[in-house]
């Protein structure tokens, strides 16, 4: 897919100062093309992806190679990301705080859905609630910050399991013998990006959960919407859409586009 070029400015007075910005935009377009190629790519493919003539694409690539943002394979002539691009990516990831980003998103998600929002991380025995954003609609529950949810019987636990490496998941599941059909359920969660639980887990409450993913597409946390069953059911699709949009945004800030690649809630 070609990268959309930056539109030219029709204002002649503003044209001169924007020339430099336009050049930077095109250089960024080329870096994006190198990322999206997923491997070393020939000049013609990168020129096509950025909608540039091959001669212009070559000049941009030469500049990127000179600044170590790209590199060229001496044998094939193909281009790939360079050592400075790798360093930039690693430095950016090191400065990301997924939990802080998720916490920032919780009030808006709560307001949009009218449901209570929980932020959860995986502890030794299951998901642990680390943040609680109460909705305006009250409900009675023994849940609180610091509480541990069931690992395989809660939507939150299953979401975290679905987006963890297979080996740790196998060890965690070994402790829980009450999980028939769990493998199929986890596969379904990875396909649609979220899970739900009815009031059989926590009497009277229903939940919808989705993951916050890191740059390796692994769950670092889960955001969960909780409300009284009768309050959640009429709003379920709207709540799923809002939750998925939030988790896509937060995960994107953490370097993952896995949820963005999903077609959407089933």
Chain segment 182-222, per-residue pLDDT in tens: 888 999 999 999 999 887 677 778 899 999 999 899 999 99
Same-domain pairing of 130 and 80: no
Residue-range definition of the domain harbouring residue 44: 12-94
Say yes or no to pLDDT of 264 above 70: no
DSSP code of 246? Answer: H
Domain ends where: 94, 120, 138?
94
Considering all CA atoms of the chain, what is the largest pairwise distance in Å, rounded to the nearest integer?
Answer: 71
Same-domain pairing of 201 and 214: yes
Q: Are 110 and 174 spatial neighbours (Cβ–Cβ below 8 Å)?
A: no
| Strand 219-228 with 116-122, pairing | antiparallel
Count of the separate structural domains present in the chain: 2
Same-domain pairing of 105 and 71: no
Name the least confident of 20-24, 86-90, 165-169, 172-176: 172-176
CA–CA distance, 134 with 162 (Å, rounded to integer): 26
More confident residue, 7 or 134: 134
The pTM is what?
A: 0.70
For residue 77, give the 3-state DSSP assignment. Answer: coil
Same-domain pairing of 61 and 174: no
Q: How confident is the model at residue 19 (pLDDT cuts 50, 70, 90)?
A: very low
Of 135, 140, 117, 195, the C-alpha closest to 163 is 195
Q: Which residue has tokens 């060229």?
A: 72
Please give the structure tokens belonging to residue 63.
């500049």
Domain ends where: 75, 94, 113?
94
More confident residue, 86 or 242: 242
Phi, psi of 188 (to 5 degrees): -65, -40
């Amino acid at each position: 897919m070609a990268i959309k070029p930056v539109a030219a400015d029709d204002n002649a007075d503003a044209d001169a100062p924007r020339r430099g910005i336009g050049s930077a935009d095109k250089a960024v377009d080329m870096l994006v093309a190198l990322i999206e190629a997923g491997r070393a790519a020939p000049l013609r493919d990168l020129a096509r992806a950025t909608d540039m003539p091959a001669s212009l694409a070559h000049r941009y690539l030469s500049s990127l190679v000179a600044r170590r943002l790209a590199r060229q394979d001496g044998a094939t002539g193909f281009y790939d990301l360079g050592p400075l691009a790798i360093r930039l990516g690693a430095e950016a990831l090191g400065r990301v705080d997924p939990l802080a980003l998720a916490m920032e998103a919780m009030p808006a998600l709560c307001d949009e859905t009218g449901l209570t929002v929980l932020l959860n991380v995986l502890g030794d025995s299951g998901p642990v609630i680390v943040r609680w954003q109460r909705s305006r609609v009250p409900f009675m529950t023994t849940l609180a910050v610091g509480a541990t949810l069931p690992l395989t019987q809660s939507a939150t636990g299953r979401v975290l399991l679905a987006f963890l490496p297979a080996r740790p998941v196998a060890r965690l599941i070994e402790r829980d013998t009450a999980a028939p059909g769990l493998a199929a359920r986890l596969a379904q969660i990875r396909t649609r990006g979220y899970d739900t639980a009815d009031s059989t887990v926590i009497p009277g409450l229903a939940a919808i959960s989705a993951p916050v993913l890191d740059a390796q597409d692994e769950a670092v946390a889960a955001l969960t919407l909780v409300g009284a069953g009768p309050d959640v059911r009429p709003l379920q699709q709207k709540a799923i859409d809002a939750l998925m949009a939030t988790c896509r945004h937060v995960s994107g800030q953490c370097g993952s586009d896995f949820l963005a690649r999903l077609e959407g809630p089933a």
